[in-house]
Amino acid sequence: MNDQPTIRLVNVTRYITPLREGGSLPAIVEADDSFMYVLKFRGAGQGVKALIAELIGGEIARVLGLKVPEIVFANVDSAFGRTEPDEEIQDLLKASTGLNLGLHYLSGSITFDPAVTVVDPLLASKIVWMDCLLTNMDRTVRNTNMLWWHKELWLIDHGACLYFHHNIHDWQDKALRPFVLVKDHVLLPQAAALDTVDTTFRSLLTNEHIRRIVGLIPDEWLATDTSFQSTEEHRQVYSQFLETRLANSQIFVKEAQHAREALI
C-alpha cells in the first residue's frame, strides 16, 4: 500500500489564547508555518495518553472518510512561554516541552448544534460506529465535539477515546466489551444504518491501516509508561486492541442498536 499517513512537524512560535477552562487547557497557537493550531499539551490532564488517543482517533476517522482537521506534531521549545503572565499557563508550557499535538484551527467554524442541524442517517451511523470502535465517551449533547465548517461536519477532540489505556493490562477483556456509553451519543437517534456502515467500514479499515496509524505514535510518548519492556510491546497493544474490536464489531453494533431502540 502507498497510503502511509504522514504527520508534519511544526514548531510553536506564539501562544495566542486558551480555548476553555478545565484540566487540559488546550490553546490556539501559531507555528513556524504561519498556520494556527489547536494545541493539545503533553503536560496537561491525562498527559501523552490523551495525545495518543487524539492521534489514533483522528487518523482512523480520516481513513474512514470522515472530516478531521489536519493533525501535526508540534514542538514546544523549553524557552517558549517564559513571558506568559498567567502562572498556570506558564507551568503548563514548561511541563509540555518537546513533542505535543496540534490540529489545524478551523477559523470561522461553529459548534454543531443538534437542535439546529439534522445529520443524515448514513453519516450519523458512520460517526457512531467509529466512536464505538474507539470507545469515545465524549460526543454527547452536552459536548458534541463536532464543528460546522464550510457546510460540512468536522470531528474534533478525540482525546477521551481508548480509555482502556488508563489501565491497559486487561486490554484483551476490554477489547471485547460493548460500548455502553453509546446510549449518550448525540447522533445515536439518527444512526439508522449501522449494519450497512459495519459492512462498509470492516472492509475499509484494515488491520494494516490500524498498524500504520499506531506506528505514527512517537516513541517518546510510549516511553512514559515503564510497565512495558519496550515501546514496541506497548505499541502492539494498541494495534491488537483495535484489531480485536474491529474483528468483533457486531458486539458494539448490537449494543448501539439496542440503545437506539430504547431511545426511539
Question: Mean pLDDT, 10 residues at a time, over the chain (264 residues)?
Answer: 73 90 77 97 92 98 98 93 82 94 97 94 98 97 95 96 94 97 98 98 98 98 92 97 98 98 92
In 3D space, the residue among 146, 167, 165, 166 whose CA is nearest the CA of residue 156 turns out to be 146
Main-chain dihedrals φ then ψ at residue 125, nearest 5 degrees:
-65, -35
Are residues 153 and 67 in contact, defined by beta-carbon separation less than 8 angstroms? yes
Set of cell numbers at residue 195 = 449494519
Label residue 199 exposed, middle or buried (CB < 10 Å: 0-12, 13-18, 19+): exposed
Q: What is the pLDDT of residue 83?
A: 75
Q: What 3-state class would DSSP assign to 60? A: helix
Q: What is the pLDDT of residue 79?
A: 84
Q: What is the pLDDT of residue 169?
A: 86
pTM > 0.75: yes or no: yes
Q: What is the pLDDT of residue 1?
A: 38
Q: What is the pLDDT of residue 82?
A: 76
